[in-house]
Structure 1
């Protein structure tokens, strides 16, 4: 786990720095510098582009991770990389042509409830295209076991750009419409920077020859593209559906709650950046013992870290929402459900990487399709029929992904005879549940302290409660030896 922990630590730092900047953008700048309608518009455009992105990428970013380590000579690697590099254009070019041909019909359909969407529909395709090729070149770097720079671009680039552009809107250097155009340009620039970095790590000799297993590569890509598209629907269908029933402002309010709940997934994203190519390599080498070891270590370490942030966020959630404009209040239940889901994702460790990079990858397609249909119909039931509001959207996501994760847990156990459970897993769950219940239902009686009309008493409450929780949590996990890797890390820091 040496290289995993080293790069995961760096990635986690940059992801949380990105989350910190994103938090400032989401909780303070967007809500004050950009009208709620435009904030909802940005949320809708980016969510819709995320749904479209896997289709354009053609699954190539997953294909690179799965197959690259199976080639041993530069000639074989060059054939492989050359053959997959241009495959996304087979989808992107016809899609762009048809989108341009039927632009009026598409934009009218998407803007039926919110006319402002019509003028920006083309942004969806442009952002999806740039994100697709960014992921391709990011995977290119990952298989060289260099994930940090790409992670910086993925987590920091857009958030820093958004912050700069929001201040530009505030000072009236640009208009709200220009904000969207400049942000789209930033996505293009990020793609080119990632491409340049990937080529510095490994520059292939371009060839017209195809690798011997090209048909297998195509089959895998087709499965993954469908599975990835279904997976993207699961993650972003709720933000896409809100403007179909209510105003764009509601999408902005829901986006804030989801952002807060998603804060705990940063360690998972950081560790999986390097675990994915490592898992692929060990599977290609048929080293199931190492796969099992990575599975258990990644699970307990991610449960420990994500559980820590689950507690901090949910015991302070009411104070956190009191810092926001009143329109954004009422999302505590959404935050709880999303954060619970993200913690479960963390507990699974590299489960997804094991399935995706094994010979059983075909199970991902029917599972993803079942999830996509399920979340769509549950959203219709909870949000439209039962009128449960955005709580219903979060509940639908929680039910579907919780069920799917449990299936994947059982599937890996049945096919590989390995589980993520260690003798400390149950103890870790009990620690998280106990501290959450102990600190959830009270706050320090500090009220009505303002600095230039800005309430700072919620910040004081959050800091004081966190000062109590952090040392208790750290003491328990070290004393109980929950994670060997974490204990070693603390010993090094203590020395």
Structure 2
């Protein structure tokens, strides 16, 4: 457990550091140093590359982790690892050839609303390829129980690189075209650094012997492609589709709003590494009592923590938008809608861990496909009517329906659900705080107002959470802190 706790702690620190750097880039540097049109283009390139990444990786990043420990001899393991290195090429090469042959047709389709997009298709392809192989090499070290460097590269490295490029753009050391080339270069460099680290930890030995589990491996990889594509699609399909309906600078406004709301997801990402192995153990041991307890406790803990972040965001959003350029203020409604979606994600606790470690994994993929189709259809209907707000509504509806289906499915198959009377108390507290604090503003500059209001919200929220005794885990943390202060 020592190595797990140690690496989890370090990974949590780098995750928060990465989000902090991302906030500086997203809210201040991009908005001040780059035109809205090119900012929207950057958001589009990265979102589209992110959508393509699971397909180009061929699910190898998950397949490697699942099957690595099942190979007991050196020859069989080396053959498996060789397959994992080359398997992504089975899709990336055909995609590249199709892109080369059909470049003009694809460019014309994607440029119907914004002509600028058509000139940067190869930037998308190269970035997606770099993202895909980064995940492969990260998985390569994960199976060796070495995750700290990879997590730093995943969360921090590219954001530092982007920050350097943005300052270089501001100082006129580079042009915006050179910035875009540098952006792609940052992701390629990140992939190469991960490659060096992976091969330093475990140097590949190329073997092309027959693999006994080949059909199972390919079947699992194919299913994981669907799962990974759905997960990333829900995060980025809105920005991809917005390009086809509205001016590309509005994609930048939407991206800023979504990033602000996505901060709510940080606690879930930090706890995910802990909840996955615990959930798998309880399911494998058929320990329903402990599984139910973890389900409820993880839901409560994440709801309390993410609820506090939710309050800080929605209650300070007006002041926050006074800090960044005025034209971005159209994204305030998007912040509210996506924040609710992210809060609902946290409310589910370890629901995903239960489903993905259960025998019902394929059913989850069916739900995911339905969700992806729903999100696309809703975006097609709502974006032309309401612009970026319509896309946010589409995302909220799709996520709400998907999460509700998952809760019902676990209830039917396992006879448990994460909600308790304490969930209602927390919901009531969140609503009360929104009603009390939303229209309460201090007469100072935005930075002071955000600081003072956040302190007031924090004190009231912490006091009421402690007094209401909604979570034994949170109460124990408070009691430990209070004993130390005495």
Q: Same fold (TM over 0.5)?
A: yes
> In structure 1, how many angstroms separate the alpha carbons of the residues matched to 2:363 and 2:204?
32
| 4+ aligned runs moved over 6 Å, structure 1 | 1-5, 72-76
Q: Is the 8 A contact 1:69 1:281 kept in 2?
A: no
Residue in 1 aligned with 2:40?
A: 40
Q: Does 1:88 align with 2:88?
A: yes
Residue in 1 aligned with 2:172?
A: 172
Q: Is the 8 A contact 1:69 1:280 kept in 2?
A: no
Residue in 2 aligned with 1:313?
A: 313
Deviates more, 1:427-436 or 1:371-380: 427-436
SS of equivalent to 2:377: helix
Deviates more, 1:45-54 or 1:431-440: 431-440
Residue in 2 aligned with 1:253?
A: 253
SS of equivalent to 1:329: helix
> Taking structure 1 as the reference length, what is the TM-score of the superposition?
0.89
Q: How many residues align?
A: 483
Deviates more, 1:175-184 or 1:68-77: 68-77
CA distances 1:266-305 after superposition (whole Å, capped 9, x unpaired): 1112222454455456555655555445433432222121
Alignment root-mean-square deviation, CA: 2.7
Deviates more, 1:431-440 or 1:207-216: 207-216
Deviation at 1:391, TM superposition (A): 1.0
CA distances 1:59-96 after superposition (whole Å, capped 9, x unpaired): 22232344445567777655544433321111111211
Residue in 2 aligned with 1:241?
A: 241
- Taking the TM superposition and a 5 Å limit, the aligned residue runs for 1:10-29 are 10-29=10-29
CA distances 1:371-402 after superposition (whole Å, capped 9, x unpaired): 12111111121112xx2121111001100111
Distance 1:88 1:45, change over 3 A: same
Deviation at 1:253, TM superposition (A): 0.8
Residue in 1 aligned with 2:388?
A: 390
Deviates more, 1:65-74 or 1:207-216: 65-74
Query: Mind listing any 5+ residue stretches in structure 1 that lack a counterpart?
Result: 447-456
Q: Is the 8 A contact 2:253 2:330 kept in 1?
A: no
Deviates more, 1:198-207 or 1:186-195: 198-207
> In structure 2, how many angstroms separate the alpha carbons of the residues matched to 1:265 and 1:115?
34
Residue in 1 aligned with 2:354?
A: 354
452, 460, 477: which one aligns with 1:472: 460
CA distances 1:140-198 after superposition (whole Å, capped 9, x unpaired): 44445544432222221111111110000011111101111111111111112223334
- Taking the TM superposition and a 5 Å limit, the aligned residue runs for 1:56-135 are 56-68=56-68, 78=78, 80-135=80-135
Deviation at 1:414, TM superposition (A): 2.1
CA distances 1:425-465 after superposition (whole Å, capped 9, x unpaired): 3333232222222211221233xxxxxxxxxx111111111
Distance 1:390 1:28, change over 3 A: same
Q: Is the 8 A contact 1:7 1:274 kept in 2?
A: no
- Taking the TM superposition and a 5 Å limit, the aligned residue runs for 1:82-481 are 82-202=82-202, 205-209=205-209, 211-277=211-277, 279-280=279-280, 283=283, 291-384=291-384, 387-421=385-419, 424-446=422-444, 457-481=445-469
Deviates more, 1:268-277 or 1:48-57: 268-277
> In structure 2, how many angstroms separate the alpha carbons of the residues matched to 1:44 and 1:121?
11
SS of equivalent to 2:113: coil
> In structure 2, how many angstroms separate the alpha carbons of the residues matched to 1:220 and 1:277?
19
